[in-house]
């Protein structure tokens, strides 16, 4: 279920240039698609194609890549990165950067682990512990964002400071305490809870009807205006694609079997998709989201329009902190503990790369939440596939780097084409 609600927001597609009116029917659809390709208006297409190629390639070469168990593994590995990447999208939309999220995720995991610790005297219910941890991470975002927005220190510097500080805090605590084991079942559920088969199907059904319903809702609410105009064939195709993805995902998950326990749809994926819908709504349907795009496009224009630019900046860094916290909890849940090795791998850089591969501009104002999900899926699949091929970590980094470079180069060309064709 890659993009359950990718266009729930106002339709931003520019009209065809002068004198281009498409005939109805399939012929018109192809003409439109071809025009979009020629003018560099690719949308998420390249990354979906890339994902298909990567999956096909590993499916053919690695023996244990194309298994249901590995598929569930992949989801559980990637969920946390995707959560962090969501926050990165908002920060990049402002044209800022948040380098601290890797270790803020670590703080989230640490807080949650500490608060659930049995016999510590401050043991809390797991859900409460998670809420407090996420709030703490949003608080970190509040402090860092305030320094950026009100004092005017560049975000690169502030969050680089945060990177070091939170790393230091984690080191101090964990060097003393060693690994903290997480026993609370609610916390461990975030990554590892598996839905029963029929619940999985039900969830797939809900996500499948969500997109057509959102389009229908928009068409009714905004009757007679341009945003309500939809190419119903495209909508039908997208809806079908989402349905296939959703039911396909559940089908594969349900099929898997680890030793004796049957597998199913992991909660982690549901969380990630729910946040995708929620954050897409926030970005595209609310005044706050509109202001984020405006500040990223032109902070001066936003300021003159009466938007409080510092307020938007602070809120965005709070979102970034909160999503990092949630991602951190998911990562901790994956291994039922917090250890000195946290955050795993290149978490920060993977999250930023996910958003950038997903087409979010580093210069602000351009990009969508779905980019983070697709980018994280591509990077996750790539790294997972290379792992199953027993490729060394060095090569995994090199390949990830090349894909990042390729994606951004392609995007740069696309933007140039768009400019040339005046769209």
Partner 1 sequence: MATNDTPLLELRDISKSFGSVQALVDVDFEVRPGEVMALVGDNGAGKSTLIKCIAGTHMADSGQILFEGRDVHIHGPRDAAQLGIEVVYQDLALADNLDVVQNMFLGREINIWQILNEAAMEERTSTTLSSLAVTTIKSIRQTVATLSGGQRQSVAVARAVMWDSKVVILDEPTAALGVAQTEQVLALVRRLGEQGLGVVIISHNLHDVFETADRITVLRLGRNVGVYDRRTTTQQTIVEAITAGRPTKVSGIPSTAEAQV
Chain contacts with partner 1 (rule: CB under 8 A): 10-15, 18, 221-228, 285-288, 290-291, 293-294, 296-298, 300-302, 304-307, 365-366, 422-423
**Closest CB to partner 1 among residues 197, 290:** 290
Q: How far is the CB of 364 from partner 1 (least distance, A)?
A: 8
Backbone angles phi, psi at 261, to 5 degrees: -85, 130
Distance of CA 314 to the CA centre of its chain: 20
DSSP line for 89-135: HHHHHTT-----HHHHHHHHHHHHHHHT-TTSS----HHHHHHHHHH
Q: How far is the CB of 262 from partner 1 (least distance, A)?
A: 41
Report yes or no: 361 and 275 within 8 Å, Cβ to Cβ: no
Q: Report the residue count for the chain.
A: 423
Q: How far is the CB of 99 from partner 1 (least distance, A)?
A: 24
**Closest CB to partner 1 among residues 177, 423:** 423
**Closest CB to partner 1 among residues 258, 305:** 305
Q: How far is the CB of 163 from partner 1 (least distance, A)?
A: 29
Looking up tokens 């202001």 gives 291
Report yes or no: 271 and 255 within 8 Å, Cβ to Cβ: no
**Closest CB to partner 1 among residues 13, 183:** 13
**Closest CB to partner 1 among residues 206, 227:** 227
Q: How far is the CB of 31 from partner 1 (least distance, A)?
A: 18
Q: How far is the CB of 154 from partner 1 (least distance, A)?
A: 22
DSSP line for 382-415: HHHHHHHTT--HHHHHHHHHHHHHHHHHHHHHHH
| Half-sphere CA count of 76, side-chain side, radius 13 A | 24
Q: How far is the CB of 295 from partner 1 (least distance, A)?
A: 8
Report yes or no: 16 and 32 within 8 Å, Cβ to Cβ: yes
**Closest CB to partner 1 among residues 127, 227:** 227
Backbone angles phi, psi at 222, to 5 degrees: -105, 35
**Closest CB to partner 1 among residues 95, 345:** 95
Report yes or no: 269 and 79 within 8 Å, Cβ to Cβ: yes
């Amino acid at each position: 279920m890659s993009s359950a609600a990718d266009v729930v927001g106002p339709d931003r597609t520019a009209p065809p240039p002068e004198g281009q009116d498409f005939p109805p029917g399939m012929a018109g659809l192809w003409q439109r698609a071809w025009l979009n390709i020629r003018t560099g208006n690719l949308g998420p297409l390249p990354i979906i194609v890339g994902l298909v190629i990567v999956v096909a390639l590993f499916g053919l070469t690695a023996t244990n890549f194309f298994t249901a168990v590995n598929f569930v593994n992949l989801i559980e590995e990637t969920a946390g990165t995707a959560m962090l990447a969501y926050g990165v999208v908002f920060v990049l939309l402002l044209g800022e950067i948040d380098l601290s999220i890797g270790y803020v995720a670590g703080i989230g995991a640490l807080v949650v682990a500490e608060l659930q610790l049995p016999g510590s005297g401050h043991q809390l219910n797991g859900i409460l512990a998670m809420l407090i941890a996420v709030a703490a991470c949003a608080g970190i975002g509040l402090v860092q964002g305030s320094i950026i927005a009100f004092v005017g220190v560049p975000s690169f510097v502030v969050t680089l400071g945060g990177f070091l500080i939170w790393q230091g805090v984690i080191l101090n605590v964990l060097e003393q305490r060693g690994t903290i084991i997480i026993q609370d079942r609610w916390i461990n559920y975030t990554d590892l809870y598996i839905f029963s088969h029929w619940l999985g199907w039900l969830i797939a059904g809900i996500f499948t009807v969500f997109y057509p319903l959102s389009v229908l809702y928009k068409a009714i609410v905004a009757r007679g205006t341009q945003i309500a105009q939809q190419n119903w064939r495209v909508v039908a195709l997208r809806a079908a694609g989402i349905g296939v993805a959703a039911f396909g995902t559940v089908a594969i998950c349900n099929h898997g079997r680890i030793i004796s326990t049957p597998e199913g749809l992991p909660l982690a994926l549901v969380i990630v998709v729910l946040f995708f819908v929620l954050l897409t709504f926030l970005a595209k349907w609310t005044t706050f989201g509109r202001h984020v795009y405006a500040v990223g496009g032109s902070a001066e224009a936003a300021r003159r329009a009466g938007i409080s630019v510092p307020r938007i900046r602070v809120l965005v860094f709070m979102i970034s902190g909160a999503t990092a916290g949630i991602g951190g909890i998911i990562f901790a849940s994956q291994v039922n503990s917090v250890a000195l090795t946290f955050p795993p791998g290149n978490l920060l850089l993977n999250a930023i790369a996910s958003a950038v591969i997903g087409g979010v501009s580093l210069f602000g104002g351009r990009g969508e939440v779905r980019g983070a999900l697709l980018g994280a899926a591509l990077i996750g699949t790539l790294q997972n596939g290379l792992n199953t091929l027993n490729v060394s970590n060095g090569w995994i980094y090199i390949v990830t780097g090349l894909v990042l470079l390729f994606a951004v180069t392609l995007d740069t060309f696309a933007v140039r084409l768009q400019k040339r064709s005046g769209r």
